[in-house]
Amino acid sequence: MPHDAAHHSHDHSEKAAKPGGSCCGDEAVAQTQIQPTDGRSFYVSGLDCAEEVSILNRVVGPEVGGIEYLAFDVINARMTVLDGGSDSSSDRIIKLVATTGMTAKTWNAEDANTEQAAHLKTQKRFTALSGGFWAAGFIYHVVETGFGGAIGLFAGHGEAPMPVAEAGPFAVAILFGVWLVAPKAWSSARRFSPDMNLLMVVAVAGAIGLEEFFEAATVAFFFSLSLYLESWSVGRARNAISALLDLAPPTARVLYDDGSEADVPAAAVAVDARFIVRGGDRIPLDGEVVDGAGAVDQAPITGESALVPKEAGDEVYAGTINGDGTLTVRATKAAYDTVLSKIIRMVDDAHSRRAEVEQWVTKFARIYTPVVMALAILIALLPPLVAGGDWGFWFYNALVLLVIACPCALVISTPVSIVAALASSARNGVLIKGGAYVEAPGRTTAIAMDKTGTITMGEPEVAGVYPIGEISERDLLMRAAALEARSSHPLARAILSRAGRDNISFASADNTRTVPGRGLEGEMSGMSIWLGSDRFAKEKGFGFTIPPELRDQIEGAGNTLVAVGDDSGVSGVLELRDQIRPDAKGIVARLHAQGVKKIVMLTGDNAATARAVAAEVGIDEVRAELLPEDKVNAIEELVAEHATVAMIGDGVNDAPAMARAHYGIAMGAVGSDAAIETADIALMTDDIGKVPWLIGHSRQAMLIIKQNIGLSLATKAVFVVATAFGMASMWGAIAADVGVSLLVVANALRLLNARDDQPGTQDDTTG
């Protein structure tokens, strides 16, 4: 529901399933709609990419009741067994994981970081040792045969036996190269479920059987290097998110009642404690300024580039930076409950909500690997059997096919791209709650949005007080303020602000009750009073008592009419005015230019006011005087007509409509816990200008993913054709595969540098 006269509803409906709106298959629904914290989590050493996810699904899934009860966070090497499945013990699950060549232990965030660092260090050491011995063998060959012999080493195979002094270093290089993947390969072989680890080990073993120690060592080293690069790139994306943790300082300068000060760990600071923030310091906790004045850089949380003035009574957020001057702040939230902490948790949990393209890559790799194994067997057998070809030559080509077919670059590119997109969005004040919602904005064809706080500034003021009958302006305002005394709604704040400015004292009305989509009712001095929209007055049978010329005057100016009355009729009318955002027209034009075919305003305000605002900013369609269920119906109509529909609202009262859309965007998530928890995407300011940026960012992310997939598949296709004609070599295949892995990782990590200060660079990107 919009922030208008009809907006005094506090509907906390839970998000329902999105009919027709799921961008994922059945498997995705199971893995994306359940938070990975709803169960037992395990750190899995060796869980590096989607290949391992597939293995764990096959091995652990049946034990816990099906793969729908498993959620994975590859970035943090975390597997979660969700509640609701079979009651299998943690020890049993850990033993099952061990059968895959990986190891598991109960999740502990600090231990997991240490384990990940140790795993990466081990990979780096084994890769370096493999590369060092490979280089030693190659240098020996150069010394013995000269550069001509070195070129011959790359050019052919099946030549004179290799001297032991040369084969020895290559053998050690092979050992270090396959050491970490051999357990996974053996597990895969025992289950008759080939994966890329088995492909590589078979290729290496086959090359050794052909006495091609150089090529076997090359494959082992480059495959180890590829896996290390994969872990490094995942770590780079993970560190981009972990950097959010460093925004808030670990200590706070607490001010005690006796005037003394002391540095205290931020996690130990109690709510309502006061702390000092000096000029240039980062703010450690969310709080309210109680003394001092200055300007705060909120860019780390909201993405706002301009400093925000702060004085007594204003809110500040952990992780933001104080400018000049010293602030005394009262802590309003504990360290674990700050907006920054919630952002970090949301982004951390987002990895398990996988994008449609990410699921496609996983499914493709699962089918692709055994097909490649079968094709390699055909290449090894058919030419010799059918055409009398040389067995050794075609067996070698079958091994080449196994090497180039390794789906490393393919499976790594998508998750790294998704996480990089999530991290850069968070840094730009846009909180995306999963890979599925990185993809959706780029396909948006229709947007429904609230009026107040979205198109307008969301800071209404009482522009006119019009008593009807014998009541005075002060009494009229007193009744309105009494009803709104306990509300934090923008219109309530406007009425209470006007009452305070006019020095009107009042007590809260008794027995106040919200009438969803209409207004408020209550009692004051034993008299029933009410407040609400023009529609509310009409439903009570008092609409005729509002002078038509007054109604036309208010609505014609694009302002909101709020009627105040009692059992005898309408006592008077308040006129509330909210300024249209100066950039709203340009933003709507940008959305149209990006291919959004229809932009609809859904509001509970009167039709004349809504039409006046829509006409000024260029909105295509207006649906006014809507109740919550009317908004849901409007969204369902849009969903039936358009491929991807977004609903932009406040995340609380608009929850039912946001749930019916393909994805929901919450405006002004800072300070609104419910907004963060309700929407699929939360804008950390009230800046609707982030929506065109979001669409452009989504398209850039999907373009990069498609580039990576296309490059990976094209490279493999070229080598498959070359192999079929006996024109490819094993070392060339693995070098090409590692080269493509490097390229797709570098391409994906470009998303970490996405910035909102150049909106034109992404808006028109097409995927």
- Decide if 308 contacts 296 (C-beta within 8 A): yes
DSSP class per residue in 319-335:
T-EE-SS-EEEEE-S-G
Distance, CA of 585 to CA of 617 (rounded, Å): 4
Between CA 159 and CA 215 the distance in angstroms is: 12
**CB neighbourhood size of 377 (10 A):** 12
- φ and ψ of 430, to 5 deg: -125, 115
Instruction: Give the strand pairing for 78-82 and 70-73.
Output: antiparallel
What count of residues does the chain have?
A: 767
Which tokens belong to 163? 């001297």
CA–CA distances in Å: residue 19 to residues 564, 623, 640 = 40, 22, 10
- For 109, 237, 241, the CA distances from 234, given in Å and listed in that order, are 17, 5, 11
Report the alpha-carbon distance of residue 113 to residue 239 in Å, rounded: 10
| Exposure on the CB side of residue 135, measured as CA atoms within 13 A | 6
Helix (H, G, I), strand (E, B) or coil at 658: helix
Q: Is 474 exposed, middle or buried (0-12, 13-18, 19+ CB in 10 A)?
A: middle
Alpha-carbon distance 686 to 649, whole Å? Answer: 10
Contact (Cβ atoms closer than 8 angstroms) between residue 530 and residue 566? yes
Comparing CA positions, the residue from 676, 753, 698, 73 lying closest to residue 424 is 753
C-beta separation of 141 from 153 below 8 A: yes
DSSP 448-489: EE-STTTTB-S--EEEEEEE-SS--HHHHHHHHHHHHTT--S
Tokens representing residue 618 in the block: 């260029």
Q: Which two tokens stand for residue 579?
A: 């300024």
User: Exposed/middle/buried for 190, CB within 10 Å: 0-12, 13-18, 19+?
Assistant: exposed
Q: How far apart are CA 245 and CA 301, in angstroms?
A: 12
User: Please, which residues have CB within 8 angstroms of residue 4's CB and are 6 or more apart in sequence?
Assistant: 451, 452, 491, 533, 560, 603, 604, 605, 609
- Closest Cα to residue 716, out of 372, 380, 200? 372
Of 450, 534, 686, 737, catalytic: 450
Catalytic residue status for 26: no
- Say how far apart CA 169 and CA 135 lie, in whole Å: 8
Sign of the C-alpha dihedral, residues 501, 503, 504, 507? positive
The DSSP secondary structure of 587-628, one letter per residue, reads: HHHHHHHTT--EEEEE-SS-HHHHHHHHHHHT-SEEE-S--H
Q: What are the catalytic residues? A: 450
